[in-house]
Every structure is written in structure tokens, then in C-alpha cells.
Structure 1
Amino acid sequence: MPDVLSDERPLRIAFVVLHTSPLDEPGTKDAGGMNVVVLAQAEALAARGHQVELITRRSDPDSAPTVQLRENLCLHNLDAGPARLIAKGEHEHVIREFQDALATLLGELPVDVLHAQHWFSGVAALPVAREFGIPIAQSFHSIAADSSTPLADGERAESPGRLAGEAMLAKSVDAIVVVSRAERDTVLSRLGGDPAITHIVPPGVDADLFFPAWDARAEPAAHEQRPRRALSAGRLHPLKGFDLALDAIAEVDADVRPDYVLVGAAPPDADGREYEARLHDAVEQHGLADHVQYIGSLSRHALAAQLRLVDLVLIPSHSETYGLVALEAAASGVPVVASAAGGLREAVVDGVTGILLETRDPADWAAAIAGILRQSEVAERMSRAAREHALTHSWDLSAEGLLSVFRDLVAQARPGSARA
């Protein structure tokens, strides 16, 4: 048996994700980039020999309590609230039940470190971590804005306790893990987080799954003549700003106007349904019915194939902690036109892998879109640079950064250490 004090021994790591299963496809339910990051990091850690437990709430009565996903990687579905899909904001009401179920599980399944994802998970996991003496790291993935802040559009608290819950966690957990400098700044300024325990661990991208149309592995369809295409991917939620993309495309001159492919579905709440209806109304008002295609949510493989069929990716989000779709587009050799918001400033190299826009004026977005589509040499240069940029971001590197945080927490928790 390895020495329990060895810095090299495999760790037992639990990712706690209350409100969405890490297995949910991004763009469905309340799944998004967080689901991609958690699952990819968990798989990379498991491949390194660490035992990883993914712990979520049962949202399907037919799901098994425990599922072995692969070697060293298990999924646990805990009973908390109804065994069905519920709106994201309703998860605040099942935190206590989830906390009790988590304590029961961890009483039988010892782990070295907990990593809570989103504030629901953190509020549930923190008392359990303290009860069992387990160090706990917190990732927020998005942070609520007070109604008086300029970032409130699209990111108001989904449930009453969010603002207080996030602030409490930032001051109580053992480490905070963020994906970008922008998110770190928000944690420090908005939540009063401690810079000494706030660690940047950028996400990665699967460059073997997301590769360019000019790669020899590309499907024949990627080489066929077709109309120009732009694509956006994500939940159909006001935060994503897809209405701006529609307004911009309507203003692009007809000779270069791209068709628009929208990948994703509305989350299961009134805001999502209302926003989806607004997007359909905008398509009709702009007379774009023949140029806009809604294709719902896609698997990772299907999204990668779609990216090889487009000329541009549009990311008009009001806020992004990083912007994983921008990195997936880069790996696919597709230039991006994106909002200069949050972590998108780090995911997109302005003028090199795409264009970042400070403005939300549709005319400015239309000009940026047309500028790339009219200049094939610019598009080609950005395509090559984007692929090179993506190759510097692997999930193995991301897991290595996360593991460094976890090992420090475990070392600090040993008997005789300052934290212990």
C-alpha cells in the first residue's frame, strides 16, 4: 500500500455537482461549459490513476445509484427532491436533502478532497467537508451580479440565496478554482475572495475530436461547396445574447450574408422558453427564415462535425467566465467573432484567432462578420492561428493544474499542518 503521506500517491477526488449531471449534453437542460469542464477534467484525472467520484442529484427515476463510467471514474446519483428535471432556481430548496445524502455517501466512501461546482453544490458540501475533515475547493462557473452592477444583464441571481451563498463560500472554502483572470478578478472584487487561495486553472479542448475541415480526417461534407455559414452554440438563454447575432446577420450585405446555425435548447424555466420565442420572432421580423437553422442540442462529436461545416463562430454573450465554445472553434480552425466580455478576452486572441467587440451595436457586428467573410486570406490566416492556439490548451494540462491545487490542500490537511 502506498505511503499515505506520499506526494505522488493517487488521490481520491469527489466532484460535487448538484444541479446538473456532468453527463448532460451542453446546450440541454441547464448544462453548458461547466459540464464539459467537469467531465473532461475528471476523465483526465482518472486516466492519471486517481480515483474520481462524480456526485450529482438524481433527476431521472431510472438512473442507477452508482454507475461505473470507466476505470477510476464513477457517477453517483443522490436522492434529493423529486427524481425529475427541475428548474435551476428550484435547486436551492433541495440543498439540505442533498447535503444529508452526500454525508451518507461520504461516510461509506472516503475521499481526500471535495471540489464543489456552482454555489448550490458548495453550500451543500461545505458542512459535510467540515464534518469529515475533508479539504474543499469551490468553482463558481458564473457569479451573480447585484442588480446595481453593470453586469447584471443576464446574470441576476436565479434564486434568493445565491448572492449571500456565493459570498459565504468565497470566505469559507479552502481553495477557489477559476478558469480565467477575468473570473479571478470577479471573485476578488465581487465576493471578497482571498487572492492567496484563488487559483486559475484554464480549461482545455479535445484537439483530436475538434479538428479543422482542412485536416485529412475531415468528413467529405466538410470539403463540399456550400453557402457561407456562421454558428453559435449554447443554452437559449438571454445571457448568451443570440438575439444580437440575429440582428447582426440581418445587417450583413446579402452577397456575403451567412446562413446561421444555432445549436442548443432552452433551459427548463420560463426565461428560457420566453427567450426562445423571442429568437423565433426575430427571425421572422428580419425575414431570415430561409437562412436560420435551429438544430437543438448536439453531442460533442456532432458539434465537432458541425464546426467543420462553418466559416465563423459567433459568441455574443453578455458575460462568460471563459468561453469554451471559442476554444472548440479554434481547435476546429474556425475564426470567432465574440463579445469582449470576461474570459472571452483570454479564449480569443483579438485580431489573430478572431475579433473581439466592445460594442453590442448590430452594425459593428455585421461589419466584423462581413470583413472576415470577404477576405479569404484573413480567414485562412485566422484559421491556422486558431488551431495553433488551441493546441496549447489540453485537458491533461488542465488536470495537472487542478491536481496541483488538490495536492496542496491534502498536504495542508495532514495532522500537524497549519490548516489542520
Structure 2
Amino acid sequence: MTHSLRPAGSLGSPGAFGSGRLSIALVSEHASPLAALGGVDAGGQNVHVACLAGALADRGHRVTVYTRRDARDLPEQVPLRDGVAVHHVPAGPPEQIPKDELLPHMGAFGRYLARTWRGRPPDLVHSHFWMSGLASLWATRELGLPLLHTYHALGTVKRRHQQLADPSPPQRIALETEVGFGCDRVIATCRDEVVELGRMGIPAIKAGIVPCGVDTELFTPRGPVAERGTQRYQLLQLGRLVPRKGAAVSIAALARLPETELVVVGGPPADRLDQDPEVRRLRALARAAGVADRVRFTGGVPSTDVPPLLRAADVVLCPADYEPFGIVPLEAMACGRPVVASAVGGQLDTVADPATGRLVPPRDPEALAAAVAELLADPAAREACGEAGRRRTLRRFGWGRVAAATEAAYCDVLETQPVATGAGVV
């Protein structure tokens, strides 16, 4: 499947297909839109797939999300909302398996997709994460269907930062490269990703940039506010509790920030926090830093509880070692809160320094503390950052805009497809 594609950042307009109703297959092998968030393998990708599917349905398309069946009692298909269904693919045992152990089951996943699509093919396939791309590539090659791919994270970046601690299969980077060359279009989420793809040998002409989005109706500056602690200031860190997210950096920075509490949101449910290895590690670090009484872990929370927690914070921290995109800065900005984030990955595109917050070097507690202290000392600056962040999310990152740009990428690819592929508009 080699076609003439527009260069990165030039996704075009919907064109001839823009007014048609497409049948779209989103493939997300480990990140189900139905999953509870906050676990080790449940985070931004789950949100992205669910929201993109809904926003595409709002534009009149029919969307089916294909994800692996990870429990015996899951039905084959579950309606998510009008125009969107989740299809559970039997590939491997019907139980939860860490995503880094799923590669042996991707052959079965791809064969199932090919069988399912042979009778009634979608107009196009959009895979999410490299293993979804691999399974989708096998199926779409067999059936001659157009394939677009979003990586969400790249193995080259993960290996560079985690080195021997990287649990990914050793074949990951080679297979990611195969997906990049084999698909019709890579939909990258930020400029840094396009640069990294170039290092892998995938030409920039194959990639267009469409950022992740945020629900600007759920995440708003106005609404309920979570109860605050007894300290004068409150910081919040939200996301999966894995070392690369940098909660240890936030705890070390807290030792330099008097009268300040850190609320850490994510991980297992509150009643299982004591058994979580990462929580135990972070609590030990907090004790060693003398701030254990100023660090509070909430555990994973329902998505509806997140906006009130964000609104309660004076500053939201996003100090990841690396971040392929990072949805939390968008959620914080949409709620009108200033963000201090590490200057890595997608955060370089989302956080505007100094307009919406501050960007600091990763793994640098002193720099993080200094940026936070500057904002805590200046209420007017915090308010200005929050207002600018809200405007920025409305202008660039609402799901309606993201879905329109994604649809434009779909149409660019469909317009290059030979008629013999059978891809078209219903």
C-alpha cells in the first residue's frame, strides 16, 4: 500500500468524502474504552479511543472499536453510545494480561479481524498502539483495506529512557517500523513524535499531526470543587502510578515548598493502595524527605471526580520523565488551572510557557519546585495562566476539532485508494 501522501502537519480538508458516512474500525488491542482508568495499562489511550469514537459518531460516522476480550463474561459487542460499538476480540485467554505480554496473541487477533471484515469490510481501519497496528496490518493487507495508525508511544523513546527496565518485547521497534512503512498514514500526536519517526526511517511525508483532545464540556473552570486539605496551597498530580510519570520528582520538590500539600490521583482503588508497590515506594520517599504528612494518595477515581479535583488545585504537576503526548495538561488547562510540566514529548506542544504554565527539565525537583513557588507566590499569574489555558484548549484541543482533523486524514487516504480495494462511502 504505497500512495502519495501530504507532508506532516498538512492534513488537508475532508474533500469528496467529507459529506459521506463512513464505517470506521478503530483497533485498540489492550486499551478498551470501557476500562476503568488509573491502572498500569489503562490511561490516556483508553480516553483517546473512547472520545475519538464518540466525536466521529457526532460527525455522522459509524464506529466500531475492536479490543481484546479480557474477561469471560464480556459479550461480543457492547454499545458505547449512539453510533459507537465496542467489539470484544477473542485472542488469548479471556483474562487481564499485561500489554507487554500480548504480542503472542496478535496473530489470532489479526486473523479474527480478517474473518470478521471479509463479509462486511469497514471503509477504513485506524489502529492505536503498535500491536494493534501489527494485527490490523495483517488483516488489511489480506483484504486490501486502507489503514491509518496512531502509535501513542514509541518503543525507541521507551527504550532510551527505561533501558534495561523496559519490559517491551525485544522485537517491538522492528515491528513498529514495519507498521509505519506498511500503513497508509501515520497520525502522530505531536511534533516530537514525527522527529522520532524520522529517526526510525519513516519519512515525514507519511505522517500528519493530529493532537489528542479534551472534553471541554466535562473539564471546565466552573463546577464542584473537591475538598482541600489543611495546607495553604494544594498541588495535584494525576495519572497512572508508574515511575516514569515522575511522582517521585513531585515529592522531592514538595520538600522545598512549605505550607503545601501534594495530592496524587491514580493507581489502584483506595482500599488497595497499601498493597501497591509504587505507592509503597512513593510513601517511603515521602517519609525520607520529611513530607509524608503533606502527601495524600486518593487511588484511582471515576472520571467524573477528576474535574473537581483539578479545580481544587492551585497548580497541576506533570513531571514525567518522558510523555508521548500527555492528556492531563489539557484537562488541567480546560479547568482553568496552571500547569508545571516537564519539557518533553507532547507537553512541548500543549503547555505554552509562560502563557499557560511553566516547562521545566525532567527529573529536576529543584527546577520543578522553583517554577511552582513562582506561581504560588503570584495569584494573578495563576489566574492569567488558567484563563489562557482554557482559551488554548477551546481553540486547539476540543474533540470536535480533533475529530474533524482526523476525518480529513481519513479522506486524504481514501482519495488515494484504488477503486478495486472496495473502500468507499456508505
TM-score greater than 0.5 by the shorter chain: yes
**CA distance change for structure 1 residues 155 and 109 in 2, over 3 Å: closer, same or farther?**
farther
Q: Is 2:220 the counterpart of 1:211?
A: yes
Q: What secondary structure does 1:301 align onto?
A: helix
Partner in structure 1 of residue 4 of structure 2: none
Cα distance in 2 between the residues matched to 1:146 and 1:140 = 12
Q: What secondary structure does 1:308 align onto?
A: helix
Partner in structure 1 of residue 63 of structure 2: 52
- Counterpart selection for 1:398 from 395, 398, 402: 402
**CA distance change for structure 1 residues 377 and 309 in 2, over 3 Å: closer, same or farther?**
same
Cα distance in 1 between the residues matched to 2:215 and 2:61 = 20
Q: Determine if contact 1:312/1:334 at 8 Å carries over to the other structure.
A: yes
Q: Determine if contact 2:226/2:309 at 8 Å carries over to the other structure.
A: no
Q: Is 2:28 the counterpart of 1:17?
A: yes
Cα distance in 2 between the residues matched to 1:202 and 1:146 = 18
Instruction: Tell me the CA shift for residue 226 of structure 1.
Output: 6.8
Q: Deviations over 1:127-147 (max 9, x none)?
A: 100111101011111111279
Partner in structure 1 of residue 190 of structure 2: 180
How many residues are paired up? 402
Q: How does 1:352-391 map to 2 (within 5 A)?
A: 352-358=355-361, 360-391=363-394
Q: Determine if contact 2:225/2:308 at 8 Å carries over to the other structure.
A: no
Q: Determine if contact 2:319/2:362 at 8 Å carries over to the other structure.
A: no
Instruction: Tell me the CA shift for residue 310 of structure 1.
Output: 0.8
Q: Determine if contact 1:114/1:136 at 8 Å carries over to the other structure.
A: yes
Partner in structure 1 of residue 51 of structure 2: 40
**CA distance change for structure 1 residues 361 and 408 in 2, over 3 Å: closer, same or farther?**
closer
Q: How does 1:65-76 map to 2 (within 5 A)?
A: 65-76=76-87
**CA distance change for structure 1 residues 226 and 360 in 2, over 3 Å: closer, same or farther?**
closer
Q: Is 2:246 the counterpart of 1:247?
A: no
Letter in 2 for 1:387: R
Partner in structure 1 of residue 311 of structure 2: 308
Q: How does 1:50-129 map to 2 (within 5 A)?
A: 50-129=61-140
Cα distance in 2 between the residues matched to 1:115 and 1:99 = 14
**CA distance change for structure 1 residues 221 and 83 in 2, over 3 Å: closer, same or farther?**
closer
**CA distance change for structure 1 residues 223 and 339 in 2, over 3 Å: closer, same or farther?**
closer
Cα distance in 1 between the residues matched to 2:256 and 2:400 = 42
Cα distance in 2 between the residues matched to 1:208 and 1:356 = 26
Partner in structure 2 of residue 285 of structure 1: 288
Instruction: Tell me the CA shift for residue 299 of structure 1.
Output: 2.2
Q: Determine if contact 2:323/2:344 at 8 Å carries over to the other structure.
A: yes
Q: Is 2:201 the counterpart of 1:196?
A: no
- Counterpart selection for 1:262 from 264, 271, 296: 264
Q: Determine if contact 1:154/1:238 at 8 Å carries over to the other structure.
A: no
- Counterpart selection for 2:37 from 15, 20, 26: 26
Q: What secondary structure does 2:115 align onto?
A: helix
Q: How does 1:337-356 map to 2 (within 5 A)?
A: 337-356=340-359
Q: What secondary structure does 2:102 align onto?
A: helix
Cα distance in 1 between the residues matched to 2:391 and 2:303 = 21
Unaligned runs of 5+ in 1: none
Q: Determine if contact 1:144/1:156 at 8 Å carries over to the other structure.
A: no
Instruction: Tell me the CA shift for residue 232 of structure 1.
Output: 0.9
**CA distance change for structure 1 residues 370 and 248 in 2, over 3 Å: closer, same or farther?**
same
Cα distance in 2 between the residues matched to 1:410 and 1:377 = 49
Q: Determine if contact 2:229/2:261 at 8 Å carries over to the other structure.
A: no
Partner in structure 2 of residue 412 of structure 1: 416
Cα distance in 2 between the residues matched to 1:154 and 1:405 = 37
Question: Identity over aligned residues, as a percent?
Answer: 33
Q: Deviations over 1:256-308 (max 9, x none)?
A: x42111111169xxxx9543332121122223232111112222211111111
Q: What secondary structure does 1:265 align onto?
A: coil
| RMSD (Å), alpha carbons | 2.5
Instruction: Tell me the CA shift for residue 37 of structure 1.
Output: 1.3
Cα distance in 1 between the residues matched to 2:181 and 2:349 = 26
Cα distance in 2 between the residues matched to 1:170 and 1:220 = 43
Cα distance in 2 between the residues matched to 1:221 and 1:263 = 12
Q: What secondary structure does 2:152 align onto?
A: coil
**CA distance change for structure 1 residues 86 and 112 in 2, over 3 Å: closer, same or farther?**
same
Q: What secondary structure does 1:251 align onto?
A: coil
**CA distance change for structure 1 residues 222 and 358 in 2, over 3 Å: closer, same or farther?**
same
Cα distance in 2 between the residues matched to 1:266 and 1:185 = 35
Instruction: Tell me the CA shift for residue 40 of structure 1.
Output: 0.8
Unaligned runs of 5+ in 2: 1-15, 270-274
